[in-house]
Chains A and B, each alone.
Chain A
């Protein structure tokens, strides 16, 4: 089998061969999305990179998990969800004092919606779907170097 140099499969091969020390540490991720397809795809991408994953179907479920004492190394938050959307959920979590890295993941958002999402308390924003390991591995670097001060919210397409 052949793999492209920077494909997700290639990265996973390197992980399997223990070439990448980052992945010896297991991180936990919460995937918040009302779309079961996205939950499944994002879970698989993150599992393949060594994350332990949990899913929430709405912003409210995510907030309830934190109220119940759950904690995660990173949260992937969709924007458009019924019951409680990503902006409201992010605001709630930050209001509760949750300092977990929150990555906004959404599709077809206007600049103003993205700005509002970032202002709600995101650390980063990515366009959906998030299947590129090259975008997630730097996040794992950040998690590993948690003691390094945050540069502030960034938007990446």
Chain B
């Protein structure tokens, strides 16, 4: 169990099925205030499914409690309004709109609730990702893979989330950019954002995270403090491989 004083997110016995196939069964995880929690696992394990269900994009059975309030079935708009934000695996950018417009829309729910601090938040995002600032008028659809990733994260940050869920933020990126992304994840925690991180790059994820879960065929197979899991022989064999030290160095 992930014992924390202030849980931001607690999901309890969450189940999702596609038709008759159960893609997630009885998953229970906890994310504490200011924690980075990672979920690793092989392809098709149900990681994306889990994030979608927490966010309310997919229907689910079980219990999701966010910030102390229980949601029987989460509803996307309400979760966004309450400070949860998902950077989806497919990024879902607004391709025919500029970087700036994409970022502005990230703050839509905040704008609707009457907050008018978008200009300042955008500057903070530009500080994290100077590249986005250089290209602020470029259409999102024409960005490179790495830039799209940055924009997706930046757009989520515009909502000033309490809990940020990242689905494979390092997907398809060059090693140097991967390192940059993980640096930013750590930086976000320093600013008080709690993070639920789904990753294929298990080594880097375990290094940056506080607590980790291993998801296999829809079930939580292992869990523990990230550094403990990183030393676990089963994890090393299945997810870290032998002698891949250079990866670890890249991710520091």
A complexed with B: no
Binding site for A on B (CB under 8 A): none
Question: Which A residues lie at the B interface, using CB under 8 A?
Answer: none
